[in-house]
Each structure stands twice: as C-alpha cells, then as structure tokens.
Amino acid sequence: MMEKRLPGVPLPVSPVSLGTAQFGDSLGEKEACELLDVYTERGGNLLDTANCYGRWLPHGENVSEQILGRWLKQHGNRNGLVISTKGGHPPFDAMTASRLHEKELRYDLESSLRALGTDHVDLYWLHRDDPTLPVEELLGLLEQFRREGKLLSYGVSNWTTERVRQAAKAAAAHGYAGFCGVQNQWSLARADHDKLVDPTLVCMDQPLYDLLKEHPDTLCTMAFSAMGKGYFTKAAAGTLRDGALREYRCALNDRRLDALREISGTHGVPIAALVLAWMAGKPFPAVPIAAVSGMNQLLELTQALDCSLSADEIVLLDAGEEY
C-alpha cells in the first residue's frame, strides 16, 4: 500500500479515506460497523466524518460521529487510526448563515470529541467559510484549539484559493501552524460548479491545484465526492438515465471514461478503484474521501488501497487536464 503523509499528522495514512456521511441515515449502525471492520482489516486507517452528519435526521444529533465513537470504543483501536472531522456547518435551512464564531466552533468541536470518545481529533476542518470574517480571527480560534490539545492539525472545506492564500500569509505573520490543507469537491469526474444543487460547495480548480503544487510539504487535500456520485461506473454500465448527474456531463469526462475502460480492461481493476487511485498520482498529498452505499462498493474501494498507476496511465486518465 502506498501510504501518505499529511501535514501535522504523526501517522502515515492510507491512500483512500472512508467517508461516513451515510452512517445512521441510509446505512444502519450494524452495516456501518461491518464496513468499518472490512475497511480497517484491509489496511485503511483514515476515517472522515463531520459534526453535522446526521443532524438532518428527526432527532437532530451528530449520528455519524456517535456510531464511529461506539465502534472505536468496542475495538479499542483509536490510536492506530487517523480521525478527520468538521465543524462550523451552517444551519441546513439557512446555508449562507455563519456559524464560525468561537461559541459555535467550540460547541461543535467538543460535541465531536464526546461523540467520538477521544480527547483530540487528528484533522479538524471548518466546513464552510464566512468571507466577512477576517482569516486572522478564524486562524486564532483554530490555533487556540490546537494549543488546548483538542486537535493536531486544522484545515478548511469549501474555501476559495484566495482565502487560503490570505490565511497562509496571516499564519506566517502570527507564528501559527496554519492550514494543513483543503477539503473541496474533486474527482476524476469533473463537475460543473454552476450545475451543483448546493452552490455553497467549492470545487477544485486550477488556482487551487497550483497552490497545492507550490506547497506539497505543508498543504494536502482530502477530496469529497471523490467518486463523482458513481458517474463513471454508471456510464460504463449504461445505467445513466437522461438528465441524471447532469453536473458531470462534459467532453472531458467522455475522454476520461474511454481511458478508464482501457486501463480497467488491461489490469482487470474495477473502474471505481481506478477513479480513486488516480488521485494518488498527483504531485502533492491528495487523499480521496469515498463514501459507499454497501459492502460491494466498499470491496471495490479497498482495491484502490493497493492499486498503483504508472505515470503514463495517470496522463492517460488526465485526458489533457491535470485536475
């Protein structure tokens, strides 16, 4: 397995992270725990969750973190795993509202720690941005949490490149650890941001890709929606219906699908595993977050843990575009 090193995280991590957004929702606790068992048995050690996962359910709690916490307690394996979670998500009925002040962030972080049954998380991410807040204020809060020992490393999700650059300058000026990376939407399946259902999501773009290339020792990315909602697997199987996944329909993805078919046929590796393995070939630490709907998808995901693509195959999958 090609392990990765993420800034500020002592343990090397597996090349694919297991996402847990469905835990307690479309996946019951028993099935979620079985998925965790298989993922970790096959060498995976990076688990991604969020304080808001499950809060959309009628009882309104951080169900995903609670399920993960009970599983960690049962197995006693917290120290061998890298836990990534997020806070500061806006209210679901007011997605442009800000929840990034100290009271809200401290509530989310401490709620996450209680649910997970741990005194710290390895990676902590701000789930959204509020561009009206100075980056110095947000950095100061995260740095305070780090110095309290509640997190080892911190970053941001759904932030623009310009705001990340501003934060890097502010961190250097104040002597802060600064952001370890960015969690934005990114997949081999290129998404058209203008067609996304949620306009508050931020996708990988060339400026962010260039920034990550400039700072491979201090910045990483953990990409959400890394499977592109299964676009390529559905397209290859001929199960894409008219209008489905319209945000992914473009000429670039047609070329990439052709390349996936070619490489999959040569190596006998599922297209889903190749989609995830492509990210490991990038010139900075890049880990896809893959959520699954059941055991069959997980077994395909775990094939990506040991799938190594050649430089020529990465270029073939790029199909003329680096990101």
- Nearest alpha-carbon partner for 150 in 190, 102, 184: 102
Kindly state the DSSP code that residue 240 receives in the 8-state scheme.
P
Spell out the residues 6+ positions from residue 262 whose beta carbon is closer than 8 angstroms to its own.
Answer: 316
Residues β-bridged to residue 18: 47, 290
> Is the separation of the CB atoms in 277 and 232 below 8 Å?
no
- What is the separation of C-alpha 172 from the centre of its chain, rounded to a whole number of angstroms? 26
What's the pLDDT band for 290 if we cut at 50, 70, 90? very high
Predicted pLDDT at 59: 86
Write out pLDDT tens, residues 3-60.
899 999 999 999 999 999 999 999 999 999 999 999 999 999 999 999 999 999 998 8
**0.95 exceeded by the pTM?**
yes
Report d(CA 105, CA 126) in Å as an integer. 9
Write out pLDDT tens, residues 235-246.
999 999 888 899
For every residue of 17-86, DSSP letters joined together read EEE-TTBTTTB-HHHHHHHHHHHHHTT--EEE--TTTTTTSTT-S-HHHHHHHHHHHHHT-GGGSEEEEE
Average pLDDT over residues 283-300: 96
> Is the separation of the CB atoms in 287 and 218 below 8 Å?
no
Provide the CATH number for the domain formed by 17-318 in this structure: 3.20.20.100
Beta strands in 96-252 (DSSP E): 121-126, 151-157, 181-183, 220-223
Write out pLDDT tens, residues 121-146.
999 999 999 999 999 999 999 999 99
Average pLDDT over residues 169-198: 96
Residue 1 has pLDDT above 80, yes or no: no
